[in-house]
């Protein structure tokens, strides 16, 4: 299996740190508002990667943090006049519900940052002890970027366009405004009751920027600092606590390469003296009119926005349509979102569902056909279906070979850097094949069942199919609708098109629709 590693900017063979498991981490949301679908695109990508690894036989352990304390969560909770805990729990709950709607499997461990304060404190003390951190005049603790010699390697920054030096105590900042970033932020009165009081051991000789007097330099002093962790230290502490020193794969979207992921590497490797993550995968942006979807630009949509806009569209179609739109774009590239594309995906999902309905009708079909037993005359219906279901060779050799090729092609495509776009194209070709063969009545019952198994193989990763269609019981069709259906077929046969269309519209008003196929017409409940 090959994947594109952001760290090396190249395609590499995937080799886990240990053969028995793959440790995966992805940054969770900052829960100060509802997640927008640009955020959710990244989580769909991560979901596809994890499902692919598990499909290919890897034992995967997943970990994600929830940033429930930072500049935005504190500011917004105070404005909302809610406690930080209640405020962030509300948006965490909404985020997890969004994951469920989009068929995204939740991480094995989901860790709120506010539960990691002891681990964060220990990490900062280790960094202070080793000279990678210092106490600044504002009483915040900063990471000393100049002490970590490999700091520039991962982000691959253009150093000519960067400012020479600055301290950054914001959780987020621009690429031309840095170096040293905050690990523990000193308390400010506008932050209300949102703080912790933790003890840090400052070695003065290693902290020339310290606010402590010169006469105390060379001494070690324990200092209680009131407030909270910086943003970047959170993920490092989460990994050290739950994945220990090293992980196999770290994921999220490209915006986090710098500063966040660069800073994670600096913090973690300074503490553990081990390579933090072996592989890094980053997804592209979701764009609106080719501008990045973001809350700051106001060009974003939440799932709730889409539910309200498309209130007449069944929710299971809306969610699967959004998911298939994210799958059908190279994960490293930015992809454009618009409502026309989404509505086109509604049709795509409905066409997939119609294929399942056709297979269901095919399996239920009991119309007379030549005896499969090789004798003269007609076999009974029971004899025919017993033969089809129980024959030792129920699937033709050509069909077996074709289905094997479909599955192996699918696997090979996925192993080439998670090529979901080409894998999805192979799935659509398979759907086209199913529909064409059903049209000509060229499947046995066992062949249909084998095809369903192959579709389940596709959906172990895609999660865009509704297999419940195959299990749905057929409701008894009301007599009035059956009468209209007979009238419509009679009018159609007699080429009385106007009356036939009128009958069809009357049936639609009663929440049924007519499906016209080569083998005949069917009624289907809407």
Query: Which are the contacts of 24, defined by CB distance < 8 A and separation ≥ 6?
Result: 49, 50, 53, 60, 61, 62, 63, 247, 248, 249, 250, 251
Whether 464 contacts 349, CB under 8 Å: yes
Cis geometry, peptide bond prior to residue 386 (ω within 30 degrees of 0) = no
Q: Are 365 and 442 in contact (CB under 8 A)?
A: no
Integer Cα distance of 419 and 331 in angstroms: 8
Alpha helices by DSSP H, listed for 146-275, are 231-242, 262-272
Phi, psi of 516 (to 5 degrees): -100, 115
507 within 8 A of 500, measured Cβ to Cβ = no
Q: Per the structure block, which two tokens stand in for 248?
A: 């196999």
Contact (Cβ atoms closer than 8 angstroms) between residue 264 and residue 151: no
H or E stretch covering 499: helix 497-509
Please state whether the peptide bond connecting residue 259 to the residue before it is cis, i.e. omega within 30 degrees of 0. Answer: yes
CB count within 10 Å of CB 374 equals 8
Nearest to 48 by CA among 302, 467, 424: 424
Give the 3-state secondary structure of residue 224. strand
Helices (H) and strands (E) in the chain, counts: 15, 18
Domain limits, CATH 3.40.50.620, in the chain = 16-132+142-157+231-304
450, two tokens: 């084998």
Count Cα neighbours of 277 within 13 Å in the Cβ-side half-sphere.
25
- The Cα 497–Cα 492 span in angstroms is 6
Query: What integer pLDDT is reported at residue 444 of this predicted model?
Result: 85
Q: What is the pLDDT of residues 415-439, one digit of tens each?
A: 999 999 999 999 999 999 999 988 8
CB of 91 closer than 8 Å to CB of 31:
yes
Give pLDDT tens digits along the chain (526 positions). 999 999 999 999 999 999 889 999 999 999 999 999 999 999 999 999 999 999 999 999 999 999 999 999 999 999 999 999 999 999 999 999 999 999 999 999 999 999 999 999 999 999 999 999 999 888 899 999 989 998 888 987 655 555 544 556 666 554 444 588 999 998 888 888 888 999 998 876 544 455 545 445 556 678 888 888 999 999 999 999 999 999 999 999 898 998 899 999 999 999 999 999 999 999 999 999 889 998 888 899 999 999 999 999 999 999 999 999 999 999 999 999 999 999 999 999 999 999 999 999 888 873 334 333 333 444 454 544 454 444 444 788 899 999 999 999 999 999 999 999 999 999 999 999 999 988 887 788 889 999 999 999 999 999 999 999 998 776 677 888 888 888 888 888 888 888 888 888 888 888 778 877 666 777 777 6
Among 39, 19, 15, CA closest to 29 = 39
Give, in degrees to the nearest 5, the angle at Cα 459 between 473 and 360. Answer: 25
Distances (CA, A) of 132 to 247, 269, 319, 320: 22, 11, 46, 47
**How many angstroms separate the CA atoms of 470 and 319, rounded?**
20
The DSSP output letter for 152 is T
Strand order in the sheet with 277-283: 109-112, 60-66, 22-26, 247-253, 277-283
Rg (CA), the chain: 30
Q: Which CATH number fits domain 16-132+142-157+231-304: 2.40.30.10, 3.40.1010.10, 3.40.50.620, 3.30.460.10?
A: 3.40.50.620
């Amino acid at each position: 299996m090959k994947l594109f590693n952001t760290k090396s900017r190249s395609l590499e063979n995937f080799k886990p740190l240990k053969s028995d498991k793959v440790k995966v981490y992805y940054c969770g949301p900052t829960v100060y508002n509802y997640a927008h679908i640009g955020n959710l695109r990244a989580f769909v990508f991560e979901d596809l990667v994890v499902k692919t690894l598990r499909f290919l036989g890897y034992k995967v352990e997943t970990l994600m943090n929830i940033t429930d304390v930072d500049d935005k969560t504190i500011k917004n909770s105070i404005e909302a006049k809610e406690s930080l805990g209640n405020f962030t729990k509300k948006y965490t709950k909404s985020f997890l519900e969004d994951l469920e709607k989009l068929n995204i499997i939740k991480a094995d461990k989901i860790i709120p940052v506010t539960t990691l304060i002891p681990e964060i404190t220990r990490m900062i003390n280790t960094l202070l002890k080793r000279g990678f951190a210092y106490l600044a005049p504002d009483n915040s603790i900063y990471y000393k970027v100049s002490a970590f010699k490999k700091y520039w390697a991962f982000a691959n920054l253009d150093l000519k366009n960067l400012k020479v030096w600055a301290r950054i105590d914001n959780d987020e900042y621009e690429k031309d405004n840095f170096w040293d970033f905050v690990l523990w932020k000193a308390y400010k009165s506008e932050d209300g009751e949102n703080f912790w009081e933790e003890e840090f051991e400052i070695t003065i000789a290693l902290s020339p920027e310290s606010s402590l007097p010169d006469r105390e330099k060379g001494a070690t002093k324990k200092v209680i600092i009131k407030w909270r962790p910086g943003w970047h230290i959170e993920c490092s502490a989460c990994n050290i606590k739950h994945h220990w020193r090293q992980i196999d794969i770290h994921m999220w979207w490209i915006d986090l390469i710098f500063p966040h992921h660069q800073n994670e590497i600096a913090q973690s490797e300074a503490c553990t003296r081990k390579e933090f993550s072996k592989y890094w995968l980053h997804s592209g942006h979701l764009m609106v009119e080719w501008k990045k979807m973001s809350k700051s630009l106001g060009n974003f949509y939440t799932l709730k926005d889409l539910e309200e806009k498309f209130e007449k569209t069944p929710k299971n179609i809306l969610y699967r349509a959004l998911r298939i739109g994210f799958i059908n774009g190279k994960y490293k590239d930015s992809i454009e979102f618009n409502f026309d594309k989404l509505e086109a995906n509604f049709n795509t999902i409905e066409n997939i569902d119609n294929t399942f309905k056709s297979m269901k009708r095919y399996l239920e079909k009991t119309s007379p056909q030549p005896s499969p037993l090789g004798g003269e005359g007609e076999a009974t219906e029971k004899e025919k279906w017993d033969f089809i279901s129980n024959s030792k060779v129920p699937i033709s050799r050509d069909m077996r070979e074709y289905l094997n090729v479909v599955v192996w092609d699918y696997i090979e495509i996925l192993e080439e850097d998670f090529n979901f776009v080409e894998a999805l194209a192979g799935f659509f070709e398979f759907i086209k094949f199913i529909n064409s063969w059903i049209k000509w009545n060229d499947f046995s019952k066992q062949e249909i069942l084998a095809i369903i198994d192959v579709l389940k193989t596709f959906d172990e990763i895609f999660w865009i199919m509704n297999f419940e269609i195959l299990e749905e019981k057929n409701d008894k069709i009301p007599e009035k609708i059956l009468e209209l259906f007979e009238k419509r077929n009679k009018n159609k046969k007699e080429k009385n098109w106007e009356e036939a269309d009128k009958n069809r519209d009357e049936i639609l008003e009663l929440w049924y629709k007519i499906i016209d196929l080569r083998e005949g017409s069917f009624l289907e409940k809407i």
